[in-house]
Structure 1
Amino acid sequence: MHFLNPLALLGMVATAIPLAIHLLHRGQTRPLPFSNHRFLRALDQTRMRSLRLRQWLVLLLRTFVVALIVLAFSRPSYQERGAGLLGSSVPTAAVILLDRSYSAAYRQPTGRLFDLLRAQATGLLSLFSPRDEVTLLPFAARPEQTLENPDRMRELVRELAPGEGITDIEAALERAAQLLTSRADWNREILLLTDLARYNWAEVTPRDVDWLPGASVYISDPADGERANIYIRDLHLDSWVQTAGRKHTIQVVFGNSSSRPATAITADLYVNGERVQRRELDLPADEFLQADFTFTPRVPGPLSGYVEIEDDGLTLDNRRYFALHVPESLRVLLVGGQRGDTYYARRALTAGSSVDPVLDVGQALVEDLSPEILAATDVVALCNLVRLSPERTRLLQDYAADGGGIIIFPSTRVDLSYLNRHLLPALVPATVKGVVGVPGSDGPQYQRLDPDRPYHPLFEGLLVSDPELPRFWASFEILPKPDLKPLILFDDGSPALVEGWGDKGRVLLFAGPLDLEWNDLPLRGIFAPLLHRLSRYLSLPPDQGRSYLVGQTAHRHLPSPLSAGARVQAESPSGRRFHLEAQLSSGRTLWRVPVLSESGLWRLLTEGEVVDRFPVNVDTRESDLTPFPAGELARIFGPDRIRMIRPDDDLREAVLLNRYGQELWRECLLLAVCLLLWELWLSRATLEKRATITQGDA
């Protein structure tokens, strides 16, 4: 038993009032003369004793009634686990975690989920006294800035709105635990106001030690039936054969997290602000559906657009953005020491030009290279390279520094000393060592390309059939440096194809020559599309086709004329602009956008001109709104620690009941009323008996 308002116990002095009134009204005895004593003998002594007992009982009841009323005002409470006699003697340290992830923007028939969470946060702020320490911690993918000023907290809660990021519950809880660690002697509480969407809860693991230091955990449970949601899960387009005037396909994956199928869902494809296709879809319950959309670029250049479905309870995941670049031309120059060096590459790319009208394949000998030829070339393929003269070496290094793309296939007779000392240092951060394997063996000892690691969209759909994967009986060992980016690995984990930067241009180095005694790559079906994709890859803007998720950081490589000193601005989809600073990474200049906080098409501008654009989408792992099971919450936090708060619960009562135990003031008042009724009945009965005795005496 302890008291939440112990100062009211001073009112116990009022219990003396009934006794004082009784003593003041008792009066003084006066002698009355009687002529004889026969009337006194007739007095019923037993009835007089009963009358006095009733009077004392009435006095006692009145005293109890006053005491119970005083107890009710002192707010007594009872809790089985230990608590001090005075409930207010121990202050409370609390952290209110308010979920701002985009799933909290879901709109129910009763209103938006976030509005409910915000109302709960406002109600919780009234439960703390000036002695308590309360921290408001909004969070989504990461905890945001904490706030401890109560007045500012109420204002901030009114201003807060759900963002577009996903939820990281564990990071928020760990931050709350850090804030409470220093308050070991206080009553500690974590109030988690979230929509309980399933995503990310599986990553919150129980700990062997008390990682939430002795804190009670309150979790909102905004259950209001099923939260059905239709969304666009993913979007994919092939960026390797895009050509103006030709039809292209976009593969779109739609999701339905409802237990009921969705019929006649309208989906639209927009390109450069114009709707180019509409489809009606029937989505099965709790499954995904892939649908293809087609469009034909009219002119070459940058294009952007999105696929959109009709609005539902959660609108942020109803649109998926994309951006691409349609080239006007692609000239690839095949260079060899002699004509036969380019044979396999020429055959492969010539076959590719039949399906890619912008592809123009030329060939030249090493001694024919000149600045004029390179100026008209997008990609140079050095086939079976042995060595280059110093003039040709500088020419190619300058070509890469100005933004040109280079593919290097070393010869079986390559001069490794030249390669490592003169050519590669300015192009690829790697060293080429000796030969691994036995050339010309054609035996069972060979390596294949690893189809799974590292994943790169460049090879999607190519490295899938094991019989079609080329065999490498021999290859050069490539020793990577820290800045090296491998694109393909052999199955033993060694690099097969690596990418470097020659300042503004990209350079690819293959670990083997185009020679049938070393490998059968030129004979395999993947060789032609692989070489075609590599050429397209090097000719496109460096970050072409890359999309980001809300909350990520973007590092963009801008066109060649821009220097590190250029003034570049980032513009968000809502029109907010801020300046960017250039960063030097792996020998190239990158422009860093720190936090992508909005979904849509972002733009980079310099002097008012758009120099880059890229899509940012929401992370649809958050789109499954199925609530996390309460039983699993008990497993994570412990069944004796958590308290679920539902929309129809009395928030104040739920928190105070757990903090101080069951309050007994209602019981005190009820008992006081019962005693008061008993006192009234006894008082009336006493008066009637006294009147009876008086009449008998008469």
Structure 2
Amino acid sequence: MSFLNPLFLWGLLALAIPVLIHLFRFRRYRVIHFSRVKWLQSLVLTEKATRKLKHYLILATRLLGLILLVLAFAQPYRPSAAGVNPSQTRLVFIDNSQSMMASAGQSTSWNLALEAADKLIRSYPEDASWLILSHSTDPSAYEAVQSAEALRAVQELRRTYRGSTWEEVKMKFETAKRAVDIGAIYLISDFQSDGLPMVGDWPEGIIPVKVSEGNTIESVSVDSVWFDVPSGVGQPLEVFALIANYGTSPARDILVELHLNDSLRSARRVTIPAGDRVELSLSTLLSQGGKFRGEVRIDDFPVVFDDVLYFHFSIAEAIPVSLVSESGNSARVLEAILSDDQFQLTTMRPGGIEASVLRASSVVILNALSDIPAGLVDPLVESGSRLVIIMPGKQELSAGYRALFRKIGLVDAGVQWRTFEQSIPVSNINWGDPLFRGVFMRKERQPEVPKISGYWSFPTVPATLGLSDRSPILFSLTRESRAESFIWTVPFDAPYSDLSTHSLLVPLMHNMVLFASGSSELYRWLGASELARYSVTDAEALVSVDLGEQNLFTPSQRRRGRFVEVRWDQKPQLPGVYGLYQGNQLVGYEAFNASRLESSLSLMEDRDIEEVFGNPVVQMHSSTDPISTLSTSKESSIWWVLLIFAALAFLLELVWIRFLP
């Protein structure tokens, strides 16, 4: 048995007061001479014994009432689960996700969590064994410590911006049980309901400690940001944002701001219905190219970690593009399409290819080559440039194409040329592919599409643009969720297709080159392991990340021609836009954001938590001091029972005083 407020036990010293009063309460008798006291003596003795019994009963009930009252304020409880050996380690998991910063009465869930862990550890002996875990704890740090070090670990714990699921928390518990002899597990959290595994999935012995009030916390979040179509210098830039309201009431007149390179460029106000999302656009005009840091901001309380979404993008003055093609109509069409100021086009014939030009190009277009020279395959792949391959007309698939397909990860089994007696229209459009953003004004039932009379059949790839049987006319090969290559399975010229004269070709080729030339995603989530590619000038120097305050971090990376591929896994720790440098030269930006898994603050009810874990919920209630009270839902009745019995004891004392003679 332990006490939550042991200082109140000093109140037991007050028991000496009624005892002293009882011992030194002497009645002084005045002597009166009386003639005969024979019959009065027995009466006095009887009354004296009755009064003595009355005094003892009053003293006993008064002491009992005071003892019960002091114990009630000291709040006795059992700090360990039933069956836990005192020598076993007690695991305390503290939810340090961003949702814990939500207000809980006059405090925050985070402060209540730290207070709960502190009270819990102090209620045990100093030599008790503890394991302190959180979302950000490295599995290699699963080592038991004594109370003093456990308290220090709690004090040093900081919140994390990295997303973590309940399934990952459960795996941490299972790993800890294998590494350490675990008794009770105290799970201190606000208990968001999303994704919580059901009954039977959790290890035994978990005591849930809830540090939140209510079941829903109002929250508005910048959910995501994107571009519908690429933009260039002197062209309007339209940034789309999705703003989500996770609350139970409408979010009215929310100000949404667009900042580029620390400058406010656009702002709008929006009202979002309860539990809904609103898509809006923020527009500006860019007078010059370069690398940009962007933010979409709102002002929301009490949950603030998701009020800003960071992103980055680059607008090149001119994108270097190499076109390798025989002379012909389709070559002239492609040259006309890519004559825009956004592109720096170099046209080469198959016999006059310059490897240095290929390495300097962001995009290489191979237009209907009858074969790919053997010496060109490796430079194409090693350059790191994105490929746009336009297949040739009817022939056998050459060895050069097969070698290139193997290099870029395309299975060529079953690839063959197919023809139709009459031209047939393309009928399968993947409207969700980013390549079609801005191509059509609206999604039509029967859009104007090109016709083909022959194509190369690739049976194992999904179509971006295809036939009714889903055979692809255009598809992309992705790597790390990014398009590495675009492949047209049909030549642009007659008699194979009418693509060279079709209006669809111009926006598709523009988007293809613009998207393929992008350096990386607009933003990333903290903690996600992803691969990004950046264009560099120095083939030897490593890329470093500026974390601020003269702190540089060098992530794992590898070379691919004039590009470097960086693996993002552990760093950085905080959301923001970070500069990437080779020496003192800025080669790009990368944006990281806190996971939006924490934005939906729908909290579990106590009865549901008890059903999941099989143990009563421990509540941390905020109060005005703001010291909080730790009590279990089934054991919290103990101190109320003590108060009730204390009141009954004082009531019984009044009964003795009133009715005993």
Aligned partners of 1:429 and 1:500 also within 8 Å: no
- 2:106 is matched with 110
- 2:30 is matched with none
> Aligned AA for 1:409?
I
Task: Encode CA deviations 1:642-670: one digit per residue, 9 max, x unaligned.
Answer: 34433249855514963995686656766
In 2, Cα distance between equivalents of 1:499 and 1:335? 20
In 2, Cα distance between equivalents of 1:678 and 1:285? 59
Q: 2:221 aligns with which of 224, 228, 231?
A: 231
Q: 2:515 aligns with which of 537, 540, 558?
A: 537
Is residue 2:380 matched to residue 1:394?
Answer: no
Q: 1:205 aligns with which of 194, 197, 204?
A: 197
Aligned partners of 1:243 and 1:357 also within 8 Å: no
Question: Per the alignment, do residues 111 and 395 of structure 1 end up closer, same or farther by CA in structure 2, a change over 3 Å counting?
Answer: same
Q: How does 1:250-289 map to 2 (within 5 A)?
A: 250-289=239-278
Question: Per the alignment, do residues 475 and 632 of structure 1 end up closer, same or farther by CA in structure 2, a change over 3 Å counting?
Answer: farther
Is residue 2:567 matched to residue 1:592?
Answer: yes
Question: Per the alignment, do residues 486 and 542 of structure 1 end up closer, same or farther by CA in structure 2, a change over 3 Å counting?
Answer: farther
Give 1:302 deviation, angstroms. Answer: 2.0
Q: How does 1:662-677 map to 2 (within 5 A)?
A: none
Q: 2:333 aligns with which of 339, 342, 347?
A: 347
- 1:382 is matched with 366
In 1, Cα distance between equivalents of 2:549 and 2:76? 54
Aligned partners of 1:141 and 1:168 also within 8 Å: no
> Aligned AA for 2:113?
L
- 1:218 is matched with 209
Question: Per the alignment, do residues 567 and 358 of structure 1 end up closer, same or farther by CA in structure 2, a change over 3 Å counting?
Answer: closer
RMSD: 5.1
Which range moves more in the overlay, 53-62 or 609-618? 53-62
Aligned partners of 1:121 and 1:193 also within 8 Å: no
Question: Per the alignment, do residues 3 and 646 of structure 1 end up closer, same or farther by CA in structure 2, a change over 3 Å counting?
Answer: closer
If the length of structure 2 is used for normalisation, what is the TM-score?
A: 0.75
Aligned partners of 2:92 and 2:187 also within 8 Å: yes
- 2:526 is matched with 550
Q: How does 1:79-118 map to 2 (within 5 A)?
A: 94-106=90-102, 110-118=106-114
> Aligned AA for 2:283?
T
Q: 1:607 aligns with which of 579, 583, 604?
A: 583
In 2, Cα distance between equivalents of 1:55 and 1:372? 114
Structure 1 residue matching 2:535: 3-state secondary structure: coil
- 2:238 is matched with 249
Task: Encode CA deviations 1:417-472: one digit per residue, 9 max, x unaligned.
Answer: 413565445x423342445584114488x9865627xx753444659656446677
Is residue 2:289 matched to residue 1:293?
Answer: no
Give 1:288 deviation, angstroms. Answer: 3.1
In 2, Cα distance between equivalents of 1:178 and 1:369? 57
Q: 2:132 aligns with which of 127, 131, 136?
A: 136
- 2:29 is matched with none
If the length of structure 1 is used for normalisation, what is the TM-score?
A: 0.71
Give 1:213 deviation, angstroms. Answer: 0.3
Aligned partners of 1:94 and 1:191 also within 8 Å: no
Aligned partners of 2:579 and 2:590 also within 8 Å: yes
Which is greater in Rg? 1
Q: 1:439 aligns with which of 396, 419, 429?
A: 419
Give 1:611 deviation, angstroms. Answer: 1.6
In 1, Cα distance between equivalents of 2:639 and 2:178? 27
Give 1:210 deviation, angstroms. Answer: 6.1
In 1, Cα distance between equivalents of 2:487 and 2:598? 40
Question: Per the alignment, do residues 97 and 492 of structure 1 end up closer, same or farther by CA in structure 2, a change over 3 Å counting?
Answer: farther
Aligned partners of 1:249 and 1:293 also within 8 Å: yes
In 1, Cα distance between equivalents of 2:76 and 2:358? 87
> Aligned AA for 1:234?
S
Which range moves more in the overlay, 552-561 or 593-602? 552-561
Q: How does 1:14-29 map to 2 (within 5 A)?
A: none
Is residue 2:430 matched to residue 1:451?
Answer: yes
Question: Per the alignment, do residues 465 and 395 of structure 1 end up closer, same or farther by CA in structure 2, a change over 3 Å counting?
Answer: same
Q: 2:393 aligns with which of 407, 412, 423?
A: 412
- 1:617 is matched with 593
User: Structure 2 stretches of 5 or more lacking a match?
Assistant: 24-35
In 1, Cα distance between equivalents of 2:243 and 2:403? 52
In 1, Cα distance between equivalents of 2:533 and 2:360? 22
User: Structure 1 stretches of 5 or more lacking a match?
Assistant: 23-37, 686-698
> Aligned AA for 2:130?
V
Q: How does 1:456-467 map to 2 (within 5 A)?
A: 457-460=434-437, 467=446
Is residue 2:639 matched to residue 1:658?
Answer: no
Structure 2 residue matching 1:406: 3-state secondary structure: strand
Query: Would you say how many aligned residue pairs link Structure 1 and Structure 2?
Result: 622
In 2, Cα distance between equivalents of 1:220 and 1:663? 21
> Aligned AA for 1:429?
G
Task: Encode CA deviations 1:653-691: one digit per residue, 9 max, x unaligned.
Answer: 5149639956866567666666777788899x5xxxxxx
Task: Encode CA deviations 1:162-201: one digit per residue, 9 max, x unaligned.
Answer: 3323352342244235546899995x3423233x4x5xx2
Question: Per the alignment, do residues 383 and 56 of structure 1 end up closer, same or farther by CA in structure 2, a change over 3 Å counting?
Answer: closer
Aligned partners of 1:553 and 1:594 also within 8 Å: yes
Structure 2 residue matching 1:387: 3-state secondary structure: coil
Question: Per the alignment, do residues 645 and 152 of structure 1 end up closer, same or farther by CA in structure 2, a change over 3 Å counting?
Answer: same
Structure 2 residue matching 1:163: 3-state secondary structure: coil
Structure 1 residue matching 2:134: 3-state secondary structure: strand
Aligned partners of 2:61 and 2:650 also within 8 Å: no
In 1, Cα distance between equivalents of 2:561 and 2:359? 25
Question: Per the alignment, do residues 131 and 673 of structure 1 end up closer, same or farther by CA in structure 2, a change over 3 Å counting?
Answer: farther
Aligned partners of 1:263 and 1:281 also within 8 Å: yes
> Aligned AA for 2:599?
S
Is residue 2:162 matched to residue 1:165?
Answer: yes
Structure 2 residue matching 1:440: 3-state secondary structure: strand
In 2, Cα distance between equivalents of 1:73 and 1:372? 87
Structure 2 residue matching 1:118: 3-state secondary structure: helix
Aligned partners of 2:295 and 2:308 also within 8 Å: yes
- Percent identical residues: 16
- 1:303 is matched with 292
Structure 1 residue matching 2:287: 3-state secondary structure: coil
Structure 2 residue matching 1:529: 3-state secondary structure: helix
Structure 2 residue matching 1:155: 3-state secondary structure: helix
> Aligned AA for 2:397?
L
> Aligned AA for 2:221?
Y
Q: 2:505 aligns with which of 508, 522, 527?
A: 527
Question: Per the alignment, do residues 236 and 422 of structure 1 end up closer, same or farther by CA in structure 2, a change over 3 Å counting?
Answer: closer
In 2, Cα distance between equivalents of 1:408 and 1:518? 16
